[in-house]
Structure 1
Amino acid sequence: MTLTVQPHREAVGLKTGQLYLDGQWGPGTGSGTWTHRHPASGEEIGEFAIATAADVDAAVASARDAFESGTWSNSRASTRVAVLHRYADLLREHAEELRGLQALDNSVPLSFSSTIYATSVGAAADVFDHHAGWVDKLGGETLAPYQGGDHLAMTFREPIGVVAAILPWNAPFLLFAQKVAPALAAGCTIVLKPSEYCTFTVLRMAELLAEAGLPAGTLNVVTGPGDPVGEALITHPGVDKVSFTGSRAVGRHIVEASAGTLKRVSLELGGKSPALVFADAPNVALAAATVVGAVTMGLSGQACVANTRALVHRDVYDEFLGAAQGMAQAMTYGDPFDPGVTASPLINEKQLTRVLGYIEKGKSEGARLVFGGERLGGDLENGNFVGPTIFADVDNNATIAQEEIFGPVLAVVPFSDEEEAVRMANDTEYGLGAGVFSADVQRAFRVSRKLRAGTIGVNGFQVEPHLPFGGFKQSGLGREGGKSSIEAYTELKSVFLPLTDEMM
């Protein structure tokens, strides 16, 4: 029987998507709508409004009025802390509902979103709890007079203003939290645009934030594709900062578009993250399962930080390949609400075509295909499914070893010694993440320091709410998570105050 998700649509109670402006839900000023097709079945799931330039103007004006009024930024710290904690509690209470909405949006299996911390509702709630703790602790300094005399020199951190937060489709819970929580904790107001491929989840998350007591206008939501909605937002003169997670091409465009008004910009733009598996790895089979799981399980490789390059020492190369193929064989596909399903389809037909093109490119450039490489058919023929794909003996300069594929494709590259492994790991335009598998603590630390990447996992990987996340090189600008994240939503102000009537 051909896969259908329509019964789940009725069970979850999917609502028609509207805009959220100045505390009110409505259709906006235009008549355009976006029809969302489910990536696993190809069925029409629902429609939501496409915001117009006028709607974006209204959203920014609402955020600006709310910011200037100080309803949120100048409220008591205890009030803001209470709202953020209350929202974290609401997320946990509505976790099952939100996971169901996400499964209808991007088809991430419930088995994955309920067990893997980084993609869970619980992780998002923890991010809000963490940043709530910074509300009354984000201060400046009082500095000793440098030139002597009787005066004070001080610094203050003040909210940056109106923030445009633009989300991707693949991890709405965590990425909503990583942008919205620090911005609100810093006292900013927000205009948020979800991906057109994952809108209904974000609309519900925004609705719950209003229930938590966030004042009207503090968060506004405009929906629709990047062109025209995202473009109107990133070029708007009333926006002080843009925070974006997505493709490198769009990130570059945002930098160019921000130049006219010198907007502050935070960007997370993907990666080609290596996993370095040394001969003394504590468990080579477990290392292979970890790497292949990140590339195939859940999001099917549609995750920016996944280790899509495995650099493996020649002494354990065959052992790694054998274990990797065993892990790949364990992946199951289908209805994301089925607890036995472990992996998702690609998000749309364009991405399906792109990934299949990279697989053919890998073959034509001489890499050895050892597993998969095909679109899945049968009951899944109406979905965008590509099975786990493993290439061996890949040249580190090959296309599939250098370009971000964003699909379930692993390139396995052999190496002979530590120096070669580090050199190949750093031989990329990206620098988001990396993994090091070794039982030698000194080696693991030494190699971690040499790798040009923002987050390094040693014999495992995890996202933490208080740990900065971001990339080197063309993987982006800035960090999300922890103190550095909330500081990125502030401006630093210096104040000089003489304590006598004498001029300095």
Structure 2
Amino acid sequence: MTEPHEYSNLIGGEPRPAADGRTLDSVNPATGEVWARVPRGGAADAAAAVAAARAAFPAWSRLPAAARAHTLRKVAGVIAANARELAELETRDNGRTINETAGRDLPGMAYLWNNAAAECASAAEGRSVDFGPGSLGLTRREPYGVTLGIIPWNSPISTFSAKAAFALAAGNTVIIKPAEQAAVSSLRLGELLREVLPPGVLNVVSGLGEEVGDPLVRSRDVDKISLTGSVGTARAITRASADAPKPLALELGGKSPNIVFADADLDKAAPGVTTQAIFTANAGQICYGGSRVLVQRPVYDEMLRRMTEIAAGIRLGDPSSPGTGMGPIVSRDQFEHVTSYLETGVKEGAELVFGGRSGAAAIDDPALAGGYWVEPTLFATADNSLRICQEEIFGPVAVVLPFDTEEEAVALANDSVYGLAAGVWTRDLGTAQRMFRELETGTVWVNTFRKVLFPLEGVKDSGYGHDSVLAYTREKACVIEI
């Protein structure tokens, strides 16, 4: 067996192991085998990263916007040149299929960095207010300073890029703390970006949340935090930052409704509520996954039939193979979390329409029997109060609920503590406009799903704030008496 490759943190422009030399195993979720090791950082690593980012901030923030933009375009070039390697690392680390990482995620991230470069100038814009003769009001936008991006395991490169690119464009320096379950692609990207970013402008530190994340959050020299993660993590961060208050942007969980009206184009709606929304390449491990499918009663039976056929045709297998439709669950802990809901749904009385198998029983390839596999699973129920309808499963498990009227659809959709996104399938523009207005979510997709438009911002327990260039600046006011 090949010895697992060991990756390093990036602190002050240099690759570094954890200060005490500890590491964490990175497990390939398709096989259950250790394939890499990443630093298990602690308080000393957090302090070093903060010091490096703080030292780099004055020079980076004073660069003209055009100079920062030029550097960010170089970053986009590095990502484009190394896209295949980064995609393969991410696929091996978290199980997201190579079709998605190489075909969708990495090309999109090169675009995102170029877009952030184009917005650098907006970070320097201000306003003027004429108070009358001899008195003038001015505002200017300034970067916060050192920003901390805490990113999840389901799409590391994407969230790394969203948090780093916009913060850097605004003149901040950045620390990225990747999830310990899938830190490899982030660490490798940090290593590659040494070529183009000044030392300390971008730092990447891996480790457990309580060991390296907590001291980063508590640091008085960290000026803003952006998290994409769970509600539980958000609560811990909010408590930990109470003694050193700072702006927070929290993109949290979801239980997104995907609503199919009787007039919808079912040829588009059926894949739209399945492979686009929940039975995805990364096994439904998406914060805005459409896990509640609301179907108007005249087309309920037909939609259930079509959804079942699509689910039955999804191929589970090696995520590095282009023919694979859905990969594994990211880790054993998450696998046990997801499979517990398969049992819960049956115990609650929901009808198991399709799927429900997990582990070796869900995969045909004996070489992958040790991986964390869960079949695409469909439940049907008329009771939206069930746990499988209300709690975030974060796996390939969908619940189908019938409705009769538009008002009932809105009530069902909004009957959730979450409010990240929603899908609507209808040919009626009036229905689409009303649903856009009435649904309590940050994003509404009509006749599509998962086309992300920044800002991606939730309501209720799905969080608040977003990642954009202006969101990484604060407005400063000045009144001049002449």
After TM superposition, give the deviation of residue 290 of structure 1 in Å: 1.5
After TM superposition, give the deviation of residue 149 of structure 1 in Å: 3.7
State how far apart, in whole Å, the 2-side matches of 1:431 and 1:327 are. 27
Q: 1:265 aligns with which of 214, 228, 248?
A: 248
State how far apart, in whole Å, the 2-side matches of 1:229 and 1:156 are. 34
The residue type paired with residue 63 of structure 1 is A
Q: Deviations over 1:307-353 (max 9, x none)?
A: 10000000000011011011101211221111111111111111111
Q: Deviations over 1:437-474 (max 9, x none)?
A: 00001111111110000111100024346x31110111
- Does 2:136 correspond to 1:152? yes
- Does 2:141 correspond to 1:141? no
DSSP 3-state at the match of 2:121: coil
DSSP 3-state at the match of 1:144: strand
- Does 2:170 correspond to 1:182? no
Q: Say whether the 8 Å CA contact 2:425–2:447 is kept in structure 1.
A: yes
Change (3 A) 1:415 1:464: closer
Q: 1:276 aligns with which of 256, 259, 272?
A: 259
RMSD (CA atoms): 1.5
Figure out how many residues of one structure are paired with residues of the other and give that number: 475
Alignment-derived partner of residue 149 in structure 2: 165
After TM superposition, give the deviation of residue 15 of structure 1 in Å: 4.5
Q: 1:210 aligns with which of 176, 191, 194?
A: 194
Unaligned runs of 5+ in 1: 1-5, 500-504
- Does 2:92 correspond to 1:107? no
State how far apart, in whole Å, the 2-side matches of 1:348 and 1:279 are. 39
Q: Deviations over 1:50-85 (max 9, x none)?
A: 112111111101111111xx2211012222111111
Q: 1:130 aligns with which of 111, 115, 120?
A: 115
Alignment-derived partner of residue 403 in structure 1: 391
Q: Which aligned pairs between 1:45-84 and structure 2 lie closer than 5 A?
A: 45-67=35-57, 70-84=58-72
DSSP 3-state at the match of 2:182: coil
The residue type paired with residue 112 of structure 2 is V
Alignment-derived partner of residue 313 in structure 2: 330
Identity of aligned residues (%): 41
After TM superposition, give the deviation of residue 197 of structure 1 in Å: 1.6
Q: Which aligned pairs between 1:418-433 and structure 2 lie closer than 5 A?
A: 418-433=406-421
Unaligned runs of 5+ in 2: none
State how far apart, in whole Å, the 1-side matches of 2:192 and 2:121 are. 24
Q: Say whether the 8 Å CA contact 2:45–2:212 is kept in structure 1.
A: no
- Does 2:433 correspond to 1:445? yes
Q: Deviations over 1:107-164 (max 9, x none)?
A: 111123233x3xx10111111111111112221100121xx34121011110001111
Q: Say whether the 8 Å CA contact 2:5–2:35 is kept in structure 1.
A: no
Q: Which aligned pairs between 1:243-392 and structure 2 lie closer than 5 A?
A: 243-281=226-264, 283-293=265-275, 294-377=277-360, 379=366, 380-392=368-380
After TM superposition, give the deviation of residue 193 of structure 1 in Å: 0.8
State how far apart, in whole Å, the 2-side matches of 1:62 and 1:490 are. 20
The residue type paired with residue 214 of structure 1 is L
**Which segment drifts farther, 468-477 or 148-157?**
148-157
Alignment-derived partner of residue 41 in structure 1: 31
Q: Say whether the 8 Å CA contact 1:71–1:215 is kept in structure 2.
A: no
State how far apart, in whole Å, the 1-side matches of 2:157 and 2:451 are. 13
Moved over 4 A (4+): none
The residue type paired with residue 140 of structure 2 is F
**TM-score of the superposition, structure 1-length normalised?**
0.92
DSSP 3-state at the match of 2:445: strand
State how far apart, in whole Å, the 1-side matches of 2:116 and 2:308 are. 41
Alignment-derived partner of residue 479 in structure 1: 466
State how far apart, in whole Å, the 2-side matches of 1:56 and 1:253 are. 17
DSSP 3-state at the match of 1:400: helix
The residue type paired with residue 178 of structure 2 is P
Q: Say whether the 8 Å CA contact 2:76–2:113 is kept in structure 1.
A: yes
DSSP 3-state at the match of 2:407: helix
